[in-house]
Amino acid sequence: MTRQEILEELKKVISPYTTNKEMLAEINDQTDLIKDLKINSANLVDIIIDAEAKYDIEIDYDVADKMMVVGTCIDVISERISQKL
């Protein structure tokens, strides 16, 4: 998957946890899930679990800090997908 394809899928993963749909449509590598999309920290585990299911990967919480910013989120997902191949 390309980074753009992962980004588009990631928007669907994040969507249930943010009410800021306008900003969600325009997220980029610098977008912070908590500060910009106002996602409650209690939902970060949900996002990780949903991303695991969506891409059939495993994400340890020791990389969870990287799951707080869209760009590094894509890095983690991309890395895990490539490890499957």
| List 5, 20, 23, 29, residue binding another protein (CB under 8 A) | 20
Nearest to 9 by CA among 43, 76, 54, 69: 54
Instruction: Report 52-71 residues binding another protein (CB under 8 A).
Output: 52, 60-62, 64-65
- How many angstroms separate the CA atoms of 25 and 43, rounded? 19
Q: Binding to another protein by residue 21, rule CB under 8 A?
A: no
Interaction site with another protein (CB under 8 A): 19-20, 35, 38, 40-42, 45-46, 48-49, 52, 60-62, 64-65
